[in-house]
Amino acid sequence: MTPRFWAVGALVVLLAGLAVFVVAAVPWHRAPAPRTDQLAALEQLPREQVARARAFHGELRPMMYVGLALGLLVALVLGLTPIGARLVELAGRPFGDHWLARAVLGGLAVVLVTELATLPLAVWRHTIVVRYGISTQTWAGWAVDLLKSYAVGAVIGGLALAGFFTVTHFAPRWWWAFGAVGAAGLVVLLSFVLPVLVEPIFNRFTPMPDGPLRTELLALAERDGVPVRDVLVADASRRTRAVNAYVSGLGPTRRIVVYDTMLTEATPEEVVSVTAHELGHAKDNDVLTGTIMGALGAAVAVIALYLLGSWGWLLRLAGVDSIGEPRAIGLLLAVTTVAGLVAGPAQALVSRRVEARADSHALMLTGDPETFEAMQRRLGSVNLADPDPPHWEHVIFASHPSTVQRMAAARAFARGAR
């Protein structure tokens, strides 16, 4: 039996396992609150707030769609023409066309072309968020953060490219198996190390001072049965007015993180409410669930890429002989870009269901639907969230329930409690 036969079998098993895991782990039964409750919540929001939020998103929307189209176009040009292969060759030439130089430098060059093509859109977006008062960053601060993100992406991407093409170089017939295991392992590793190593690059974290709020947050976590290492405050105000809090890390690295903007813009009760939501993610092991789904998805992607390598017409378009050679990096980018766009709505649906469960957890843990609803109004107001976005856009892109859906859920919980 050939490696291709085993690859097909492994792909079928992994897809079946992923499907079973998603069905079992995702709370599919949590439907949004009744539309009548959503409309009633929308009517109680200040009209000027709703109008400002919709104007903000109305200005962002064209940029978002242009960015998607431009990113797809650049990926297809680099991947479905010999341009991508030629770019990889040029990047490796100063190093004697060594396959590892082509893999790492060529891959980073291909990604850099895509980033530069969409850079004007990032500038456009920053202009809008500054004008609406969401961003507090100067252009210098914004540029530094952008360079930091490029650097982090280059390090992680370079290591991934080196590992992937080392496997394809030394195991040309069975690279799909070693690559699938390696990709899954990388996803798991990053879930542990990113919060510890990468988050401090962009924010400074300081322990929350002793006081009633810190005591209450730690007591809330203990009552919920979620051990946390510490309560930290992130200096988010140096770049944004947006408010947020989250529980970061897995196991011994888990900690509650609160934006400093949250401490100034929200009441202590609202901070407790949003923290209860984040504890819900930890309680239900949502980070672990996402890591497992990501690991299985990465393994599926590697095997699917191997099988695509038998499509001769695709290789001819890219001007390469094998999908496992570094010159095919542009083709890999094109395939993964298309796959990401296709899978996006399904990923958004899963995320919304998980977020809705965390909302329910917060309501049950605190027993305070009024504060939960006030918190959602606060988040929507400060972050300029569209409280009731167009349905089709919400279905395709939204990772969270809308503001009115969450407010309506709180009202439904209050009726049930009464």
Pick the last residue of a domain from 262, 284, 306: 284
Q: Do 171 and 156 belong together in one domain?
A: yes
Q: Do 50 and 157 belong together in one domain?
A: yes
The annotation status of 169 as a binding-site residue, yes or no, is no
Q: Do 198 and 218 belong together in one domain?
A: no
Q: Do 316 and 265 belong together in one domain?
A: no
Q: Do 279 and 320 belong together in one domain?
A: no
The annotation status of 355 as a binding-site residue, yes or no, is yes
Distance separating alpha carbons of residues 9 and 202, to the nearest angstrom:
43
Give the global pTM.
Answer: 0.91
What pLDDT does residue 367 have?
Answer: 93
Q: Do 158 and 259 belong together in one domain?
A: no
Q: Is the CB of residue 280 less than 8 Å from the CB of residue 361?
A: yes
The annotation status of 391 as a binding-site residue, yes or no, is no
Q: Do 176 and 228 belong together in one domain?
A: no
CB atoms within 10 A of CB 407: 28
Q: Do 233 and 249 belong together in one domain?
A: yes
Q: Is the CB of residue 294 less than 8 Å from the CB of residue 185?
A: no
- Annotated active-site residue 37? The verdict is no
Question: Of 224, 260, 270, 278, which one is the catalytic site residue?
Answer: 278
Question: Of 359, 368, 373, 388, which one is the catalytic site residue?
Answer: 359
Sequence-distant (6+) residues with CB within 8 A of 47 are: none
Q: Is the CB of residue 402 less than 8 Å from the CB of residue 371?
A: no
Q: Do 223 and 101 belong together in one domain?
A: no
Question: How confident is the prediction along the chain (418 residues), in pLDDT tens digits per residue?
Answer: 788 899 999 999 999 999 999 999 999 886 677 888 899 999 999 999 999 999 999 999 999 999 999 999 999 999 999 999 999 999 999 999 899 999 999 999 999 999 999 999 999 999 999 999 999 999 999 999 999 999 999 999 999 999 999 999 999 989 999 999 999 999 998 888 887 788 888 889 999 999 999 999 999 999 999 888 889 999 999 889 998 888 887 676 788 999 999 999 999 999 999 999 999 999 998 988 999 999 999 999 999 999 988 889 999 999 999 999 999 999 999 999 999 999 999 999 999 999 999 999 999 999 999 999 999 999 888 999 999 999 999 999 999 999 999 999 999 998 876 5
Pick the last residue of a domain from 224, 254, 284: 284
Range of 197's domain?
3-202+285-417
Distance separating alpha carbons of residues 230 and 225, to the nearest angstrom:
15
- Annotated active-site residue 359? The verdict is yes
SS (H, E, C) 348-401: HHHHHHHHHHHHHHHHHHHCCHHHHHHHHHHHHHHHCCCCCCCHHHHHHHCCCC
Q: Do 180 and 225 belong together in one domain?
A: no
How many structural domains does the chain have?
2
Q: Do 166 and 254 belong together in one domain?
A: no
Q: Do 255 and 299 belong together in one domain?
A: no
Where residue 241 sits, what CATH number does that domain have? Answer: 3.30.2010.10
Pick the last residue of a domain from 265, 284, 303: 284
| CA-based nearest residue to 48, from 414, 398, 395, 380 | 380
